[in-house]
Amino acid sequence: MNLSSRYFLPLAIFSTLNAARADVTLPRIFSEHMVLMKSAATPIWGKADPAEHISISMNGQTTHATAGADGKWKATLDLRDSAPGPFEMTVAGKNKIVIPDVLVGQVWLLMGQSNPERPLKESANAAAEIARSANPLLRTFQIEKKAKDTPQDDANGNWTIAGPETAGNFSAIGYYFGKRLTKELKVPVGVINGTWGGTFIEAWASDEVIKKDPDLRTGEEARRKEMNDYGPKKATYTKEFSEWLKTNGREDKGCPDPSIYAGPNVSTDDWTPITLPGKVAGPKIPTNGAIWIRKEIDVPAAVQGNLIKASLGPMPCFERTYWNGKMIFEMTYHQIPGEGYNHYFAIPQEDVVPGKAIFAIRLFAPVLPPAFPADSSRFYIGPIPLAGKWLAKAEYSLPELTPAVAASAPKPPRQPPALKASGIFNGVVHPIIPYGVAGILWYQGESNTGIAYAYRTVFPLFIKDIRDKWKQPDLPFYFCQIANYLPKINMPRDSAWAELRESQSAALKEPNTAQAVLIDLGESEDAHFRDKLDAGERLARIALAKNYGRRDVIYSGPMYESMEVEGSRIRLKFAHTDGGLVAKPLSKTYKVKTILNQSAPLVRNSPGSELEGFAICGKDRHWVWADAKIDGTTVLAWSDKAPTPVAVRYAWADNPTCNLYNGGNLPASPFRTDSFPVSTQQYHFGFGPGRY
């Protein structure tokens, strides 16, 4: 019998019988392979009968607690002088729980959305890294994703030891962060992984945060009203649209044999070539009816065995989607969540095999002509772009509608965001409070770029609240600034992504915070850049310098401090110029999508300049690219097109070309010296008119 079955079968039984016997129970995070924080008061807690006496023993130390009237108890262990272990922990009351293989070291909580969630197996050089990943000192606890309306006391999850059989599923950023710490500190490191892709910061914030800010509170009230109204509106739409189809003779006839259109060995000699995204139109393709489209896909070996997501964007029709002849997704008018819904789904993990694959879609278009209005960045299967050549064939056609009849077709209501404010806090974060941690690692923001300016309000509130919940006002809070993404630009302009980065950097005013700048790691056509090694290492450098006293570790790139106009030039001063300012040589190409080995030629915006990425303007606020050079510990920026300059911006774009670093090979943080209104300033939290 292995250790897991020996010790956790009784624990499972205790949990099952808890309602009847009220035995001592522990949250799931206290389990085999766990890492406890090395501190003078490391919390241990659980439930038992009211007034039941509890003892907790480990490595010759015993502490006690008594359950309160609500059955909850809490104790602390003094682990400040503890060896790393492994130890066996015993928790005893009327029953006994034994937890083997407990280490004592440094524990960090990682939270955020899909970039920190991305597993090691989907990062660059994954196979080689996984093969050498055996590290008994590095462990992770993966919290199960469950959003809840009220704060929960427990969450499912397991502690896992890093090794070739397990490390592929570790958060890549968490893995590289922990690997660097175990190497430098020679102590156990536990990374609690509470990440959740595609999430807004509102879902991570507690109800107390939502109530503190009027904009958040008003936005959440509007969103909840929309959610309450959505069910009845959706039912009405389904009923009325069904009646409209019958009245106008537009009901789907169905396809008795999809294989003749979706199968991998179908002859396509009589199919019509089309180009997507765009209209599904061409010879023999009707305006309305059931139309099939298909495309041969090259599946790269790098995604084998992974569950990959597909995005088709919003479209004015309904669909059934097939992968090598197998139906994998359906969206009828009964199911469609709302108007403008982005058709987004997963290719089953077992079906993701390297080589050729046939992706086919049956489009049912009873009202408007079938089309894919999405831009190329929202038209993909995992790393594989879908833009380009397709084939189309009609299954059957429907008579064209008059504009009046088409306009009379009912439209589905807009769908509110699925995750409620505080939902993730309640279901993921609250269950592990107050587990002993050395600090918080945070990487989130992409989902909030539409309200980038407002992010500067909630982010500091969120940081303060997390610290309040842990009852540690100076709990280290280190975050990643969102990476570069989306197409390059040839003229300076507003950028929601730059505005979100600015809002993130504004939180550095809070004590004991720091940011890892990732402005050089991203890819123009992949929001999930694959260089997670540098991201994890940059966070680790912050922790080593600020938590563990490594004064020789440079942890921040240059940070803008002040400016001074000197005639036709502006002089910029920086903090964190460790090792001097550096103009890093620019590559001849930039990363487009590394999983497909795609890159593109880099076109310089200021080709004769030592530094790239600076823009300058005069009183007219017309931005032009600037020449810039390093002058000692400062930077001078200028342009003949702005002879009387008033402001400078640096790396102010979704995906900027920029090359200012310091001697620690860390990039300068994007910044602006102006306080002009920005593009997202008018948008607010929540859902509804005037809100994001």
Q: Given this model, what pLDDT does residue 687 score?
A: 58
Query: Same structural domain for residues 90 and 173?
Result: yes
Query: Same structural domain for residues 159 and 285?
Result: no
CATH of the domain at 300: 2.60.120.260
CATH of the domain at 72: 2.60.40.10
Query: Same structural domain for residues 152 and 105?
Result: yes
Q: Which of 342, 365, 400 is the last residue of a domain?
A: 400
> Roughly how many angstroms between the first and final C-alpha of the chain, as a whole number?
54
Is residue 106 one of the residues assigned to a domain? yes
Contact 497/449 with Cβ under 8 angstroms?
yes
Contact 503/455 with Cβ under 8 angstroms?
yes
Cα distances (Å, whole numbers) of residue 586 to 240, 488, 597, 602: 59, 15, 19, 9
CA dihedral (556, 487, 349, 530) positive or negative = negative
Calculate what percentage of the chain has a pLDDT beyond 70.
96
Chain centre to alpha carbon of residue 336: 25
| Distance from C-alpha of 690 to C-alpha of 582, rounded to nearest angstrom | 43
Calculate what percentage of the chain has a pLDDT beyond 90.
83
Q: Given this model, what pLDDT does residue 222 score?
A: 83
Is residue 145 one of the residues assigned to a domain? yes
Confidence check: pLDDT of 367 > 70: yes
DSSP secondary structure code for residue 216 in this structure = H
Helices (DSSP H) in 27-87: which residue ranges? none
Average pLDDT over residues 129-150: 97
Q: Report the relative pairing of strands 72-77 and 42-47 from DSSP bridges.
A: antiparallel
Phi, psi (rounded to 5 degrees) for 453: -65, -40
- pLDDT band, residue 291 (cuts 50/70/90): very high
- 215-236 pLDDT, tens digit per residue, is 888 888 888 888 889 999 999 9
Average pLDDT over residues 43-71: 97
Confidence check: pLDDT of 21 > 60: no
Contact 482/497 with Cβ under 8 angstroms?
yes
pTM above threshold 0.85: yes
Number of H helices, E strands in the chain: 14, 37
Confidence check: pLDDT of 641 > 60: yes
Q: Given this model, what pLDDT does residue 420 score?
A: 81
Q: Given this model, what pLDDT does residue 302 score?
A: 81
| Distance from C-alpha of 244 to C-alpha of 251, rounded to nearest angstrom | 9
Contact 193/555 with Cβ under 8 angstroms?
no
Least reliable range by pLDDT among 382-391, 430-439, 555-564, 621-630: 382-391
| Distance from C-alpha of 448 to C-alpha of 201, rounded to nearest angstrom | 7
Query: Same structural domain for residues 39 and 88?
Result: yes
Query: Same structural domain for residues 269 and 202?
Result: no
Confidence check: pLDDT of 18 > 80: no
| Number of domains making up the chain | 2
Strands (E), 113-184: 135-143, 157-162
Residue 671 CA neighbour count, 13 Å, CB half: 20
Contact 464/510 with Cβ under 8 angstroms?
yes
- 564-622 pLDDT, tens digit per residue, is 999 999 999 999 999 999 999 999 999 999 988 999 999 999 999 999 999 999 999 99
Q: Given this model, what pLDDT does residue 218 score?
A: 87
Confidence check: pLDDT of 12 > 70: no
Kindly report the length of the chain: 692
Query: Same structural domain for residues 156 and 53?
Result: yes
**Close Cβ partners of 159 (under 8 Å, ≥ 6 residues apart):** 29, 31, 32, 33, 34, 35, 139, 140, 141, 190
Query: Same structural domain for residues 202 and 295?
Result: no
Query: Same structural domain for residues 44 and 158?
Result: yes
| Residue (of 295, 328, 282) closest to 309 by Cα position | 328
Confidence check: pLDDT of 478 > 60: yes
Mean pLDDT, the chain, as a whole number? 93
Query: Same structural domain for residues 396 and 309?
Result: yes
Is residue 289 one of the residues assigned to a domain? yes
Confidence check: pLDDT of 97 > 90: yes
Average pLDDT over residues 450-456: 94
- 645-667 pLDDT, tens digit per residue, is 999 999 999 999 999 999 999 99
Query: Same structural domain for residues 287 and 149?
Result: no
Query: Same structural domain for residues 323 and 282?
Result: yes
* 361: containing domain: 252-400
Is residue 470 one of the residues assigned to a domain? no
| Distance from C-alpha of 197 to C-alpha of 145, rounded to nearest angstrom | 10
Is residue 691 one of the residues assigned to a domain? no
Is residue 172 one of the residues assigned to a domain? yes
Q: Given this model, what pLDDT does residue 223 score?
A: 81
Is residue 228 one of the residues assigned to a domain? no
Query: Same structural domain for residues 113 and 195?
Result: yes
Q: Which two tokens stand for residue 293?
A: 């489209």
Contact 74/43 with Cβ under 8 angstroms?
yes
